[in-house]
Chains A and B, each alone.
Chain A
Amino acid sequence: MANENQHNDAPQQPGVPPQPGVADAVLGARGAARRRFARAGAGATGVLLTLASHPGMACSVNVGPSGYQSAVTAANKGLKVSNAPNNYSAGLPPGRWARSGGWPCGTDIRFGSVFSCSNFNYTIANATLMQHCAGYSTYMGTKARIAQLLAAAHLNVLSGRSPFLTLANLQAIWGEYQRTGQYTPMAGVRAWNAADIVTYLSGTMD
């Protein structure tokens, strides 16, 4: 499209070094900067519109929830985006923990003692982490699947396999999901539904 205000016409190609698109467009001319915040008193507008992309889920996630969507897309594009060291060990999935003897905590710890549960989730709360990892409750559906993945993710945190996660991250996921059926990893993005949560947690494990 021909337009005198158009900048950075060359399309971005994967692998091409960053282009000075924004700086070139905005700060290249002093006159442009002078117009900034002319209506500051009227409040911020900022982001006018976002066209969201929901790519296929990544098979390997190595960032916390707030960086998840970025990591997913970056992984799909072949880029490396991580807040974590590159040499960490991948997390183990529930089944591997169920068969593993090297637990970082007792196998009889109940899910509810780590993840606060409402009375509606008594069965999930009362099951041990081992029982969850072994899949005793998978017949219960998605909520039990999320609990199972959280149990394994917790063990991965304790064992140092998931340094990009914290127990607080996992408890926040469970707490909000339990209350609302979804989880919002950061402001301004679409909340994750149960399937998204399952995909994220699964992605933190082999």
Chain B
Amino acid sequence: MPGFWRIAPGQQLAARGWNDEFVLYNNLSGDTHLLDGDSTALLAHLQAGPASLEALVATFAGDIDPDDAAALPGTIASLLDQLAGLYLIESLDAPC
């Protein structure tokens, strides 16, 4: 698992939201994505600056049901992988 994640350089994250779903235009790939609110929240947080998985978990841990806390790291890690696969984000220590 990479240490830190950041928004892909040049990614503008132009988005519109309806009912906790967000349509995001990926200006780097030309694709348009429909994202849920959780993944969009991650993007918004990373837009403020790079963050580690641990920091993201800590950020959102206080907002969820304690019963779901154990699953949060895996959930966020899975979302990060999905977003990286779309070139919306990248790991800072990934090879070119």
Q: State the A residues within 8 Å of B (CB).
A: 3, 5-9, 12, 18-23, 25-27, 32-41, 43-53, 55, 63-64, 67, 69-70, 73-74, 76-77, 79, 81, 83-84, 164, 186-189
Contacts and interface: CB of A to CB of B under 8 A. Distances in A.
Contact of A26 (B29, B41, B76): B41
Contact of A43 (B27, B33, B75): B75
Given A12-B12, A37-B63, A3 B31 contact: no
Nearest to B33: A50
B32 A53 contact: yes
B86 to A, nearest CB: 6
A44 B38 contact: yes
B13 interface: yes
B68 A44 contact: no
Given A53-B29, A188-B85, A33 B13 contact: no
B38 A47 contact: no
A44 B78 contact: yes
Contacts, number: 188
Contact of B63 (A36, A53, A69): A36
Q: Which of A23, A43, A44, A189 has the most CB of B within 10 A?
A: A44
A181 to B, nearest CB: 22
Nearest to A34: B63
Contacts of B32: 50-51, 53
Contacts of A41: 65, 67-68, 70-71
Interface of B: 8-10, 12-22, 24-25, 27-41, 43-45, 47-48, 60, 63-65, 67-72, 74-76, 78-79, 81-87, 96
16 contacts: A5-B19, A7-B17, A19-B14, A22-B13, A23-B44, A25-B15, A36-B41, A36-B64, A37-B60, A43-B78, A46-B39, A48-B36, A50-B31, A53-B32, A70-B87, A164-B96
Complex A-B, nearest 3 residue pairs according to Cβ-Cβ distance, in ascending order? A188-B85, A53-B30, A49-B34
Given A47-B83, A67-B87, 14 more contacts: A12-B14, A21-B24, A22-B40, A25-B40, A35-B37, A37-B63, A38-B68, A44-B39, A44-B74, A47-B36, A48-B33, A73-B29, A79-B10, A189-B85
